[in-house]
Amino acid sequence: MADEISDFARSMSIATSGLRAQAGRIRVISENIANADSTAQTAGGDPYRRKVPTFSSALDRTLDAQVVTLGRVRPDQSSFRVKHEPGNPAADASGNVKYPNVNSMVEMTDMRDAQRSYEANLNVVSATRRMIQRTLDILKS
C-alpha cells in the first residue's frame, strides 16, 4: 500500500511540475505577443526582443522523481524587422524603424502547444486524484 501512495505522490509531483513549467511558458509567450508591434523608446533604439523559454530537469529528492522546471528565459538573437517610416518617432536618421523579432504566428503556435501540454498534465492530475479516491473507497468497504 505504501508503494501505491508513493506512486500516486510521484505522479502528482511530476504532473504539477509540468503545469508550473507550461504556465511559465505561457506567460513568456503572452509577453512576446503583447510586445509584437512595439517600437523603441528612443529614436534609432532597439525595440523589445523576443524571449524564448527553456526547460530543465530536476530531481525531487523526497519522491525520487525527475520533475521539469522552467529554465532560463533567453533573448532570441535573431534580427529585428525593419520598416522605412521616416515620420515615426522611433525612426533612426535614415528613417528606418526597428520592430521586435516576434512572429505572431509562431507565438500562437507555441501557445497552442503549451496549452495542450498544460491540459495533458492536468489530465494526469485528475486521473491520479480519481485513482486515489477509488483506492480510498475500496479501503473503506
How confident is the prediction along the chain (141 residues), in pLDDT tens digits per residue?
556 667 888 999 999 999 999 999 999 999 999 999 999 988 989 999 999 999 999 998 888 889 999 999 999 999 999 999 999 999 999 999 999 999 999 999 999 999 999 999 999 999 999 998 998 899 898
The CA distance from 120 to 102, in Å, is: 27
**pTM, full prediction:** 0.87
Beta-carbon contacts of 71 under 8 Å, excluding residues fewer than 6 positions away, are 53, 54, 55, 56
The CA distance from 53 to 70, in Å, is: 7
Cell digits for 92? 533612426
